[in-house]
Structure 1
Amino acid sequence: MMRHTLPIAPQFYVTAPQPCPYLEGRMERKLFTALQGDQAQRLNDSLSKQGFRRSQNVLYRPSCAECSACLSARIRVADFKPSRTQRRIMKNAAHLRRNATSPWATEDQFGLFRRYLDARHADGGMADMDVFEFAAMIEETPIKSRVIEYTRAAGPGERGRPLACVALTDVFDDGLSMVYSFYDPDMIDLSLGTFAILDHIDIAQEAGLPYVYLGYWVPGSRKMGYKAGFNALEIFKHGAWQDIGDPADHRAELHPLSVDPIAEQVARISLPEARSVPRE
């Protein structure tokens, strides 16, 4: 019996430039790699700590030619203290019931998803998603993922407990990552997007996980500005996690030297150590 080390050597690619969804008039480009095979969970855990984000079977990180505004963000669970407004949001939504399920798409989820997009993001990149693409977003995951559903009491003429909010959530070795969330647009007064983040902080605390990953914070983008409203927030900048400090100190100006060449970026990516696998 001999033992050989099988290396993890993912291939990295770069997307063609396309309009940026966060900052008007700019073009975005992403560095990405496939997420598949027996080592998918370990690769996802490792690269997520280096600013990458999952979308189905792909891990990606912004790598724009002259812009480095997109910053991966996460909340330190142990240090988080809700603000007065956030405590009020938790209180107002306390009647919702949480249910964690396997990543399986349902008609109720898709119906809520369509209502959410039509009301909040009718001109966004996901506006044309059909039920099959929605199912792929939820179900095509090679790692440990959960769908967290929040339901409300039934109103007149309704059956069961209707969905109020849904979050697709990945489970890392050091935290929870909120991949995507959507909610009932008729319940906008409850601030359900913020509520879902606050509840995920509670879930992470209960599970002994130190972080809740929020995706990207983009200074100068109103769409992403809400993330800076959570204290104990860290951002991944210049290759390391650091406290966000004063959000106003982070800029979104263009500069030709703000992003390193792709080859240098890839060379600095730390990959998980290969495991020894027995071979005859």
Structure 2
Amino acid sequence: MPDATDADGLTVGQVSTRLGVTVRALHHWDDIGLARPSLRTTGGYRLYTAGDLERLHRIVVYRELGLGLDGIRAILDDSAADVPGALRAQRTQIAQRIERLQQLGAGLDRMIVAHERGLLLTAEQQAAIFGPRWDPDSPARARQRYGDTTQWQQYAERSALRSPEEWQAVADAVADLDRALADAMDAGVTPGSPRANQLVERHRTVFASYFPLTRQMQVCLGRMYEADPGFTAHYDGIRAGLTTWFRQSIDANARAHGIDPDTATWQ
């Protein structure tokens, strides 16, 4: 801070450099009467005295603490102001912001891991939720195969926000759908019939737990179910021939919505 020899005052630029505030801020504080310079040159330029700098220094300190300009004015100019009370209130607000930032940080950590791993579940949790036949390495393989796709990103975003209990609900919905598909095939339900179409639409709804699934994408998925030995083993393990029946049902439902299964693409 300047001593008594600075009687002629400092210019706005000099004060800006000394206190680390912008010239624009100093002009604004002058305009609103928060920190007006005591002197002016004959040319009308602002000059700040030692007393002005002391007030400005206090403004900078309180502003760094997050106080608004009206609150700073009250502290500086109102002799009846409860300064400790105002600072305690500000401290409470800062503590709340810190807690919120910590929550955001934890959420970012989960999102990062979800993008890298897919599932934020231990191997034991996965076995308990998805069954003993579940391969805990399958999310890693899926990451290698699909990690650069929009659908993997959507899946990771859902996974980052999902608790083990919510994953259990997803697993239960998938198991219920599998049973409903098998029951429909056992009952002789024909692909393209209202009941088969309802099950195909239910599949899209259940699958949305992972990422949004269009009807064209669903056709591609049906092809993959038939072509991939792992998926075929899953569905045919429930009922022999279920994989093909389900793929045919998906195709028939797509046709009913104006989609040619033979030309459908992943979009």
Q: Which has the higher helix share?
A: 2
Shared fold, TM over 0.5: no
Higher relative contact order (CA closer than 8 Å, sequence separation 6+): 1
Alignment TM class, shorter chain as reference: under 0.3
Larger Rg over CA atoms: 2
Q: Which has the higher strand share?
A: 1
Give the TM-score taking structure 1 as reference length: 0.24
Give the TM-score taking structure 2 as reference length: 0.25
